[in-house]
Amino acid sequence: MELYIVRHGQTDWNLHSKIQGKADISLNSKGIKQAKETKEKLKNIQIDLIICSRLKRAKETALIINKDRNIPIIYDEQISERDFGEFEGMNAEDFDYEGFWSYKQNMQFKYAENIKDFFNRIYSKLDKIKEEYSSKKVLLVCHGGVSIPVDCYSNGIPNQDSLLNLALDNCEIRTYHI
């Protein structure tokens, strides 16, 4: 199956390097522009279904991409961003952000979602998508953090400490054959 993945457009928290996991932040004007540009990039690609995070920034991006196309959208909590718990709203330099994204270290936190639990959540959803929509072209509209396990699902977990370099930029598109 063909799986397209798009990270939501920019938010003010992205602009100010604030960590936004479950925080329900809307797109800013640049994010809206990015989503419109992504819509144009995808306009000639056949998409059968959009599966979208329930968070506003992803929903807004999906609705812009889907304008005039009427592709069915399923909103799914399982592909929402990783729960950053006690780090929500902080700047990445205020804690060990690299370590937070280390599969090898598998750090445990008081409230934040453990990386292996997060990967299991995303892998489980990808297994279901593969099973239910094997003959479809599916677009996931989600988050930078979610793009990391999606990449690892398709390409394997690289032998490196931090996986941050695998994350999509705002409104970046990747294609996988899974």
What would you report as the CA-atom Rg of the chain, rounded to the nearest whole angstrom? Answer: 15
CA separation for the pair 175, 130 (Å, rounded): 14
Contact 104, 151 (CB under 8 A): no
Active-site choice (60, 77, 81, 143)? 81
Active site residue 93: no
Q: What is the residue type of 151?
A: D
Active-site choice (8, 60, 113, 143)? 8
Active site residue 8: yes
* 142, containing H or E segment: strand 137-142
Contact 58, 141 (CB under 8 A): yes
**Residue 118 backbone dihedrals phi, psi, to 5 degrees:** -60, -50
CA separation for the pair 115, 135 (Å, rounded): 30
Phi-psi region of 14 (alpha: psi -120 to 50; beta: other; left: phi over 0): alpha
State how beta strands 2-7 and 173-177 pair.
Answer: antiparallel
Tell me which residues are annotated as active site: 8, 81
